[in-house]
Amino acid sequence: MADTPRSRSSSRSATASAAGGGSRSSKGTGTRRAAAKPAAGKGTKTTAGKPRRSSGGGSRTGAKRRGGKGGGTAGRMPGLSLRTLVLTAVAVALVVVGAAIGVSIDKTLREEERAEAAARLAEERAAAPRPAPKVTAPSAVTPAPAEPTPAPAAAPAPVEASTPAVTSTEALDYAHANSGFTEVPPAHSPAVSPPAVVTPRTKPPVPAAAPAPETQVAALPVPPRAVFQPAPKAFDGEAPWVKYAVPSPAANGRPMIAIVIDDLGVDKAGAKKIVSLPGPLTTAWMTYADNVRAQAKAARAAGHELIIHMPMEPLNGAIDSGPDVLKTSMTPEQVRARVRHGFEQFDGYVGINNHMGSKFTADSEGMRVVIDELRSRGLLWLDSKTSPKSVGARLAEQAGIPFAERHIFLDNTETVSAILHQLAETEKVARKVGYAIAIGHPHDATYRALKQWLPTLEDKGLVLVPLSAIVRKRMGQG
């Protein structure tokens, strides 16, 4: 009990020395320890030891506690602030990115909605005006007298659609042409054409409005004139198509009609009947007919005009188009040789037309050779139009040769009544355009129909002319 106050004072001095400084505390402590040792006696070790432990331990513990409190306050605060700043920055960044993504998504959705709305409006606008022009514009603008005139050209269609099966190979090819081709007046109306036009036109009749030249330019892109190799001959006097033309009755402003009879020469009896009709008719003679030279000469003596009926390949390969046929599989040299062979069969002709040819006349390469030969010999081309895809008229116009196209087929149906109906349609075309070309064959029904019809032309104010007269009119020369 007596040692306890001293040890506490010793501990206090040790604590004070630790707080005050190292050197001073040790000196003070040593002096006090030296003075205390004699009085303490045996209890000195216990008392001295305890203060040292108490002093050392208390000093370290106090230091640790003070240091711990001070270190915790000074060390933890910066760590918490940095962590808070980082977390705050990350949170702010996430908020900003999320807001940006939300704005982008919202903008995209709005644009898609606008695009869909615009597409719906465009579809509604595109669909809305279609019925309007059909109902209002044509009925209000189209003049009344313009409608009845196209009606005659469409009238023969019902008759031909209900016709029985035809028998001749030529009529079969013509029937194929009629199934996909509507007969229309050819080139141009004489009232519209200029008086001194050298090159004929091949386009259907159009009003003399501004769009006509644009349509022609767009419709004639191929082929260039350079493809026609032979240069036109310098004929002595007139070209053969003019030299051998049959004199034509004076039209005196009357509509002109040319009747062309194909397939002549093979059926000699049928050819004689046709030649016996009042003319001038235009007779087309087969190149392979027996004794065709004498038959053609007799027809020319009777006042009929002559042309060569050149066999050409039809689309239907099962149809026999006769010998010496021009085919699309031939080389240009082979085609040229066969054309020249046909030219040698008789004399006095003004040109040629195609026998069948629904396939060949649509072939530009083969038809160029034919047009080359016609151009070099001064002959005309009559396109029988057995195919709506025929390029013959277009190539003839580009080559600058005289040509024409048929308007009406007479005898796809071999009955007198059907042929008379087609002749009436020919009259309508002639009154509308100023001229018309009809093609028939030496059938008995065709002969009997023409025998009835030909004498009526004078009273109807029409005039029968050879083919060359219509070609001249088309070229502005008659």
How far is Cα 228 from Cα 396, in angstroms, rounded to an integer? 10
When the pLDDT of each residue in the chain is averaged and rounded to a whole number, the result is: 73
Is 288 within 8 Å of 264 (Cβ atoms)? no
Beta-bridged to residue 380, according to DSSP, are: 351
- Rg of the chain taking only CA atoms, in angstroms: 57
pLDDT band at 5 (very low <50, low <70, confident <90, very high): very low
- What is the DSSP annotation of 275-327? HHSSS--EEEEETTSTTHHHHHHHHHHTT-EEEEEEEE--S-TTS---SS-B-
CA 281 to chain centre: 44
Cis peptide before 190 (omega within 30 of 0): no
Q: What is the pLDDT of residues 425-446, one digit of tens each?
A: 999 999 999 999 999 999 999 9
Amino acid residing at 410 = L
pLDDT of the residue at 128: 56
Q: What is the pLDDT of residues 278-336, one digit of tens each?
A: 999 999 999 999 999 999 999 999 999 999 999 999 999 899 888 999 999 999 999 99
Mean pLDDT within 161-186? 42
More confident residue, 70 or 460: 460
DSSP 344: T
Inter-axis angle of helices 268-276 and 444-453, to 10 degrees? 0
Convert 240-275 to b/e letters by CB count within 10 Å (16 or more is b): bbbebbbebeebeebbbbbbbbbbbbbbeebbebbb
Is 305 within 8 Å of 342 (Cβ atoms)? no
